[in-house]
Structure 1
Amino acid sequence: MSRSKIGVVFDSSAYAPKPLEHTRVVELRVNKGDRSYKELTEIDWDEFYKDLREKKNIPTTSAAPIEEVRSAINELLDEGNDNVIGIWLSKHFSVTFEEAKMLESEFNGRFIALDTKLVAAGPYRMILEALKAIDLGWSLDEVVNHVIEVRDAYQTIFLASIEHLAKGGRIGKAQALAGNLLHFQPLLFVDDGMVNSYKVVRGRKAAIKEMPQFMIKNFGHEQLFLDIVWSDNFDEVSVLEQFLEENGMKRQDVLRLGPVIGTHLGPDLLALFGVPTKVML
């Protein structure tokens, strides 16, 4: 069966490590002072995290202009695609999905916007799955339903900066101070697109060791697609890999978290994304 005439547009927070055919990427923005920067092409990520760690020029973030989303959709349609699927980061992190959703009526059913309810490795895997289904000649509805099935099967756990969690209001300042003094590490998970507290563990390495256990708790010993995401702490990736191996697990990819989501979750971010292989193509 020949490839379906379906294009895919997605936002930069999927942090795809390489260009993908039949797609367009819409870049989210990091705002510093009175200037706005595209996170993939206009920011040095190492310098960004260095400044963030040193608390220099704490930025804000924003969605891409709606005109860029519209232009990306039109480009894919002009290339001969009958339809375009938009795969966007969780609406709880950005208005990107909601703004894209408003374009559906403008394209008279030729464009569909999907909320992945995740960021980074989750959306990245969903994009790859959509492209596989498109290459197999699946219909628009079949592709959309498959992406939703993958999305709803995901589990994510991560470690984030205590200071950034306090700034974002997820924990109180007193908790943050006590956590820093006692070396407590908050583990969080994503449920229906929202960040929730899982448990607090004393010591960074002990917290990382808990991450494979979270997957076992949710999936038992099912075979999983596992991806690791880091921000400015690549040395901890091997620590997590070791704990995965001890539990008979192996990761697929290692992706770096970019500046937009990094602004909100801070330095020292380490995340593990898991989905059963049985729902993947």
Structure 2
Amino acid sequence: MISLSNVQKIALLTDSTADLSPALREGKPIYTVPLKIVCTDGEYSDGVDIFSGDIYERLHRGELPRTSLPDGGSVSDTLDQIKADGYERVLAVMLSSGLSGTYNMVRLLAETRSDLEIAVFDSKSGSLGMGIMVLQLWEDILAGADWDTLVHKRVPQLIDNTFPFFSVDTLEYLSKGGRIGKVTALAGTLLSIKPVISFAGDGQLQSVAKVRGRRQVQDKILDLMAQKLKPGVRYNLGIANGGAPEEMAEFAVRMRERFPNAEHMWEGEIDATLSVYIGDGVLGGGIQLLED
């Protein structure tokens, strides 16, 4: 059912790597298409019949699953459903083109549709960095932002001003999976040196810091977020984990204390697709500036 506030009949489309739980999507016109994960025993759909916990078990057994794009049929079916649900316009925010061909695939399929007005964007991000862009767009729609403003101003502004940071326990899977990007391999793994990773301007992963020990990870991410904050600018926060829920709960308390004026603080769990490349023991935090 279309919200009475959504007079322009705009739906939001993203993919499973946005890490938007059913609870976060509830009551919102957010549609997701699942990326595919190929395992030794068959192909699965991220967030449908395979989840991050399943990936951790497989990685620990020595299996290295592969990921692939959503199938074209599922994208077309999702667009059909959006139309059937009464929407006329679609804002699509997809996984960074620096990591996946999903954005380009959805863009090409969108060009074949004459029944929907569709604007497709490369988030140049992933996980909750991308997810909080989608959630903020819904806030903007509810506030009455018009289509042209959303397409030409708001989405580009969110892409440029959403800053996620995360740390991984090991670079092994990024290296094996060919997604190492600009992340610098560290020789000091035995010394518990942990990389803090973010997205470069081209959407590839890059190292932005390295710390010794997991406790220092939280401190560094909070400092990096604070460096992005601008006086007087409204902001949202995002926090996510992959196999580290207790650590995330502790981190969330510290984040709220450090950034008490956030308009929203959204939490998520890393999806199965990204877990193939980063493993478990992942902790992430991000800040999103809402410049008017």
| Distance in structure 1 (CA, Å) of the matches to 2:38 and 2:20 | 22
Deviation at 1:198, TM superposition (A): 1.0
**TM-score normalised per structure 1:** 0.87
- 1:195 aligned partner, one-letter code: L
1:32 to 21, 39, 42: 39
| Distance in structure 2 (CA, Å) of the matches to 1:232 and 1:240 | 14
After superposition, the Cα gap between the structure-2 partners of 1:152 and 1:261, relative to the gap in structure 1 and judged at 3 Å, is same
| Distance in structure 1 (CA, Å) of the matches to 2:234 and 2:150 | 23
Deviation at 1:218, TM superposition (A): 2.3
Residue 182 of structure 1 aligns with which residue? 191
- Count, aligned residues: 276
Q: Which runs of 4+ in 1 moved over 4 A?
A: 220-223, 248-251
- 2:211 aligned partner, one-letter code: V
1:225 to 229, 236, 253: 236
Structure 1 residue runs without a partner (length 5+): none
| Distance in structure 2 (CA, Å) of the matches to 1:123 and 1:258 | 12
The yes-or-no answer on 1:10 pairing with 2:14 is yes
| Distance in structure 2 (CA, Å) of the matches to 1:242 and 1:133 | 27
Deviation at 1:175, TM superposition (A): 5.0
Residue 210 of structure 1 aligns with which residue? 220
- 2:217 aligned partner, one-letter code: A
Secondary structure at 1:76's aligned position in 2?
Answer: helix
| Distance in structure 2 (CA, Å) of the matches to 1:171 and 1:78 | 40
| Distance in structure 2 (CA, Å) of the matches to 1:175 and 1:72 | 39
- 2:71 aligned partner, one-letter code: P
2:164 to 152, 156, 163: 156
Deviation at 1:210, TM superposition (A): 0.8
The yes-or-no answer on 1:191 pairing with 2:166 is no
| Distance in structure 2 (CA, Å) of the matches to 1:278 and 1:92 | 26
The yes-or-no answer on 1:244 pairing with 2:244 is no
* Contact 1:187-1:198 within 8 A present in 2 as well: yes
After superposition, the Cα gap between the structure-2 partners of 1:117 and 1:175, relative to the gap in structure 1 and judged at 3 Å, is closer
| Distance in structure 2 (CA, Å) of the matches to 1:247 and 1:9 | 32
2:132 to 125, 133, 137: 125
Over the aligned positions, Cα root-mean-square deviation in angstroms equals 2.6
* Contact 1:4-1:135 within 8 A present in 2 as well: no
Deviation at 1:259, TM superposition (A): 0.7
After superposition, the Cα gap between the structure-2 partners of 1:209 and 1:49, relative to the gap in structure 1 and judged at 3 Å, is same
Secondary structure at 1:238's aligned position in 2?
Answer: helix
* Contact 1:209-1:243 within 8 A present in 2 as well: no
* Contact 1:77-1:84 within 8 A present in 2 as well: no
* Contact 1:162-1:180 within 8 A present in 2 as well: no
After superposition, the Cα gap between the structure-2 partners of 1:163 and 1:179, relative to the gap in structure 1 and judged at 3 Å, is farther
CA displacement, residues 133-172 of structure 1 (integer Å, 9 cap, x when unaligned): 3334443222223122112111121101232244347399
After superposition, the Cα gap between the structure-2 partners of 1:162 and 1:135, relative to the gap in structure 1 and judged at 3 Å, is same
Identity %, equivalent residues:
21
